[in-house]
Amino acid sequence: MPDSVEEAPESARASGHDLDDLASTVARLVADTRAHGRLLDRLTDEFDDPAVTATASAGSTEAESAPDEEEVRTAFILALDEDAYAAELKALRFWVDNLLLPVYGREITTNRPWCRQWYEHPEAVARLHALWLAWQQLTDIEAGPAGPSTWHRDHLDPTLLQLRAPDGPFAACTTNPGRPNHRLLTTPQNGPEER
């Protein structure tokens, strides 16, 4: 047995480009897994046949089958509980920072503001999450060849127009890339006198 440590074979080494591809693949697989989970949940809800339910629950007690509390089942991020919201926001931030902004970010101007802390703006979170959900569905192979075009036309363009409008949620944030700024706008519920 030689005294020197053997180097990893060339096939086991990964370049920076390969790692980026791997990270992209993992992110896509995570998104696909979530989308499949939501689809399974929907199919389970729709397949609520009493005969099947009776057969499946044979042998279980009533206490085992009765839920302790009503579970909120939604894809809308603002309706999730704290833990689910945090997990979904983390995945959303990865998608926004690594796919959406590098491809569709465009220059920041007074007519097209942006906020680096977009995740602190509830409206931005809600709109970007809806955009991400649509992206997951419409870039899936089952969406067909027109899926990505539909995503651009029906989801991306309207979302960016709303978010980056001069009077949108980032209106008080960065309008010049050389001077980053972050400020949440007041709403009818938290006007200046309540701050």
* Structure confidence by residue, pLDDT tens digits, 132-156: 999 999 999 999 999 999 999 999 9
Round to the nearest angstrom and report the end-to-end CA distance of the chain: 72
Joined tokens for residue 86? 């945090």
The whole-model pTM stands at 0.60
The span from the CA of 145 to the CA of 147, in Å, is 6
State residue 160's pLDDT score: 97
Residues 122-139 as b or e (16 or more Cβ within 10 Å = b): ebbbebbbebbbbbbbbb
Reduced to 3 states (helix: H, G, I; strand: E, B; else coil), residue 112 is strand
Amino acid at 192: P
CB 108 within 8 A of CB 114: yes
The region, left, alpha or beta by phi > 0 then psi within -120 to 50, assigned to residue 69 is beta
119 vs 177, residue with greater confidence: 119
pLDDT at site 177? 82
**Residues 129 and 92 sit within 8 Å (Cβ to Cβ):** yes
Best CA proximity match to 34, nearest among 79, 101, 90, 72 = 90
Candidates 121, 103, 117; CA nearest to 162 is: 121
Question: What are the tokens at 135?
Answer: 């992206």
Over range 92-99, report the average pLDDT: 96
What pLDDT digit, counting tens, does each position of 36-84 carry? Answer: 666 556 555 545 544 434 434 444 444 444 444 455 577 899 999 999 9
**What is the pLDDT at residue 117?**
94
